[in-house]
Chains A and B, each alone.
Chain A
Amino acid sequence: MSKLENLSPNQRAWRRFRRNRPAAAASIFLLLLVGIVLLWPALGRPALAPRLPEAVTYSPDALSDAQFAPPSFQHWFGTDVHGRDLLSRVCYGARISLLVGLVGAAVSLVIGVLWGAIAGYCGGRWDGVMMRFVDVLYAMPSIIFVIVLITALNAVLGKMQEGAKGLSAENVRLMQLAGLFAGLGAVSWLTMARIVRGQVLSLRHRAFVEASRVLGATHARIILRHILPNVYGVIIVYLTLTIPSIILYESFLSYLGLGIQPPQASLGSLIASGAEQINSIRIYWWLIVYPGAALAFTLLALNFVGDGLRDAWDPRSERKG
């Protein structure tokens, strides 16, 4: 017991997190998933390929004549409309989806934390104006924002491509991806801003902040060095819960045809192209079930980790720890 007393709050939270079995299992699953999707491209290399089962060596872009092949020993997840191996496409799509989730969440983190911290720190009239702005954005359907942002960016990129300088197709694709990140982050920061603002508001008149102010620290230094480190726990918890919601949002945009553009693929765009193939004559269930399961398990694991972190950092769970 006495040993427990000496631990810092973060260490105690970490200990509680490791004891939470579903959350620990979910973190291992996520680590494995990240490992698989990162190592996947290497499996097709000539040095490795002959020693591995053929099913794991396909390239996600290699076309073949085996269209709509059901799952088999050769193609574990079957093939799609162009005869591409679905297992490799799911791995590729999961990589993009995770990337989108991470970067989108990072964008929303930066905007939300800065907005909330500044509003909470300044207080008074600025706080009122900034938070009313958040209220107004809350009352608008975010999907319209995202669509307008992304189509606007695509229009600008199209003009630049036609223009005298002429961007290469590769650059345009990168910029589109960046636009997608920005768009997703830009509509997901509202709740983060509210949470951070509430926390900062309760911290800004504490003695250590006043002391730092008396010593002549600048406002930026007080916010970044003294206030935000005290909010890290809450931020991390909410961040883990933002990643799945951004992955979900991206899959919805891909369903609309606004997300990841072919030949690139995300889990959402794989599901969307599977849904296009629904007809009453033949059922290509594997086109939806496998990417859908990959998406669902990823979201499930992220949610478990988020819940575990929240329970670990929640002061009310102190007694149980």
Chain B
Amino acid sequence: MYFLKRILFMAPLLLLISFLAFILVRVTPGGPFDRERKPASPEIERNLRAKFHLDEPMAKQYWRYLNGVLHGDFGPSLKYRNHSVTDIIVQGLPISLSLGGLAFCFALGTGIPLGFLTAVHKGAWQDYLGSFVALGVICIPGLVIGPIFVMLFAIKMHWFPVALWGSPWHAILPVLTLGLYFSGRVARLMHEGMLAILHAEFITTARSKGLSEIAVLLKHAFRIAVLPVLSYSGPMLADLLTGSFIVENLFQLPGIGVFMVNSSLNRDYTMVVGLVLLYAILLLALNLAVDFLFTMLDPRVRYE
């Protein structure tokens, strides 16, 4: 019942978000046709504006756009005029999805064990080393580590291809560049989650029942300690799946992260609103899924 209400509540929220994004890009100076080959005569620009209904009142434009969206049509891109926004997203999304999905798996696959081990060995050298590594990868941004990976492993060593997409070999450097930061974040969350739970009463109970330490840690502590990671996973996955400008730009991947930046630079109105909506839908849906998983993992969590 609670989740049904949440899903129903998403509709007005998305409406508000689309409206805000729509207004925001429209009121900023400059237009989508500013960078046309000059001199674009006033007639040409007027015809272009008329073709894309930019000469109508704002409210009417928004209404027209909303109508299109409800029918699954996000309008034509104002910059790449032979393509619709839907086309561009459909072409770019699979690449961003697979790149982001792999980076997500990498972040969880390395971050969770690292955070788990550093918490279990609290105060020992494993803790100091592991926690330092986790903080270190958070502080080395992708725009530093990406070029270094390219120079070292691709150009100097020839271990990996320099750019582009295709084979598993192509994926390794971009996934590492994208995923390392999140891996550090996950490790820190997992570390704190474990530390907070290790002194809980139900852990003491489990120990006093005579369970082996491994069973206590893995079966009882883990499922509660992983909850902070879980709640971070929603926004993290939304960020990862909608592409990263730096990684896509550096490795020349045709994902949608590049479009996210370029469309707002080019005032490609329809494209911006389409991408904002895509991000918002992903984020809201993922947060909902996270809250649902919470109830599965932690029996104490109840939503009414």
Q: Which residues of A contact B (CB under 8 A)?
A: 135-136, 138-141, 143-145, 147-148, 151-152, 155-156, 159, 244, 248, 251-252, 255-256, 268, 271-272, 274-275, 278, 280, 283, 285, 288-289, 292, 295-297, 299-300, 303-304
- The minimal Cβ–Cβ distance linking B144 to chain A, given in whole angstroms, is 3
Collect the chain A residues with CB atoms within 8 Å of residue B283's CB: 138-139
Whole-angstrom distance between the alpha carbons of A252 and B265 in the complex? 15
- CB of B139 within 8 A of chain A? yes
* Given known contacts A255-B143, A283-B156, A299-B139, A151 and B28 CB-to-CB distance under 8 angstroms: yes
Collect the chain B residues with CB atoms within 8 Å of residue A148's CB: 24-25, 28, 264
Q: How many A-B residue pairs have CB under 8 A?
A: 114
B143 near A283 with CB under 8 A, answer: no
Whole-angstrom distance between the alpha carbons of A288 and B142 in the complex? 12
Whole-angstrom distance between the alpha carbons of A311 and B28 in the complex? 43
- The minimal Cβ–Cβ distance linking A25 to chain B, given in whole angstroms, is 12
- The minimal Cβ–Cβ distance linking B141 to chain A, given in whole angstroms, is 6
B143 near A271 with CB under 8 A, answer: yes
Collect the chain B residues with CB atoms within 8 Å of residue A280's CB: 155, 162
A295 near B141 with CB under 8 A, answer: yes
Whole-angstrom distance between the alpha carbons of A297 and B136 in the complex? 9
Whole-angstrom distance between the alpha carbons of A139 and B143 in the complex? 25
Can you list 24 A-B contacts (CB < 8 A)? A136-B16, A138-B283, A139-B13, A139-B279, A139-B283, A140-B17, A140-B279, A144-B276, A145-B24, A148-B24, A148-B28, A151-B30, A151-B265, A152-B29, A244-B139, A252-B143, A275-B146, A285-B148, A288-B148, A292-B140, A296-B136, A296-B140, A296-B144, A303-B139
Whole-angstrom distance between the alpha carbons of A183 and B287 in the complex? 27
A140 near B139 with CB under 8 A, answer: no
Collect the chain B residues with CB atoms within 8 Å of residue A135's CB: 13
Whole-angstrom distance between the alpha carbons of A295 and B148 in the complex? 14
Collect the chain B residues with CB atoms within 8 Å of residue A295's CB: 141, 144
Whole-angstrom distance between the alpha carbons of A288 and B136 in the complex? 17
Residue among A144, A278, A292, A304 making CB contact with B150, cutoff 8 Å: A278
* Given known contacts A145-B24, A280-B155, A300 and B17 CB-to-CB distance under 8 angstroms: no
CB-contacts of B128-152 with A (<8 A): 135-136, 138-141, 143-148, 150-151
* Given known contacts A144-B21, A148-B264, A155-B29, A139 and B280 CB-to-CB distance under 8 angstroms: yes
In chain B, what residue has the closest Cβ to A155? B29
Q: Which of A138, A147, A300 has the most CB of B within 10 A?
A: A147
B139 near A288 with CB under 8 A, answer: no
Q: Which residues of B contact A (CB under 8 A)?
A: 13, 16-17, 20-21, 24-25, 28-30, 135-136, 138-141, 143-148, 150-151, 155-156, 162, 242, 245-246, 250, 260-261, 264-265, 272, 275-276, 279-280, 283-284
Q: Is chain B's binding surface mostly helix, strand, loop or mixed?
A: helix
Whole-angstrom distance between the alpha carbons of A159 and B151 in the complex? 42
A156 near B264 with CB under 8 A, answer: no
Residue among B138, B151, B265, B275 making CB contact with A141, cutoff 8 Å: B275
* Given known contacts A136-B13, A139-B17, A283-B156, A251 and B143 CB-to-CB distance under 8 angstroms: yes
Q: Which of A139, A140, A159 has the most CB of B within 10 A?
A: A139
Collect the chain B residues with CB atoms within 8 Å of residue A275's CB: 143, 146-147, 250
Whole-angstrom distance between the alpha carbons of A66 and B145 in the complex? 27
B28 near A152 with CB under 8 A, answer: yes
Whole-angstrom distance between the alpha carbons of A267 and B271 in the complex? 31
Collect the chain B residues with CB atoms within 8 Å of residue A297's CB: 139
In chain B, what residue has the closest Cβ to A276? B147
B148 near A252 with CB under 8 A, answer: no
* Given known contacts A152-B29, A303-B138, A292 and B13 CB-to-CB distance under 8 angstroms: no
- The minimal Cβ–Cβ distance linking B110 to chain A, given in whole angstroms, is 19
Whole-angstrom distance between the alpha carbons of A205 and B21 in the complex? 38
- The minimal Cβ–Cβ distance linking B192 to chain A, given in whole angstroms, is 11
In chain B, what residue has the closest Cβ to A298? B139
In chain A, what residue has the closest Cβ to B287? A139
B246 near A252 with CB under 8 A, answer: yes
- The minimal Cβ–Cβ distance linking B239 to chain A, given in whole angstroms, is 8
- The minimal Cβ–Cβ distance linking B287 to chain A, given in whole angstroms, is 9
* Given known contacts A139-B13, A271-B147, A255 and B284 CB-to-CB distance under 8 angstroms: no
14 extra A-B contacts, CB within 8 A, seeds A143-B261, A159-B29: A135-B13, A141-B260, A144-B24, A144-B264, A144-B272, A152-B29, A251-B143, A275-B143, A275-B250, A278-B150, A285-B151, A288-B148, A288-B151, A295-B141
In chain B, what residue has the closest Cβ to A158? B29
Whole-angstrom distance between the alpha carbons of A274 and B150 in the complex? 13
Whole-angstrom distance between the alpha carbons of A102 and B156 in the complex? 38
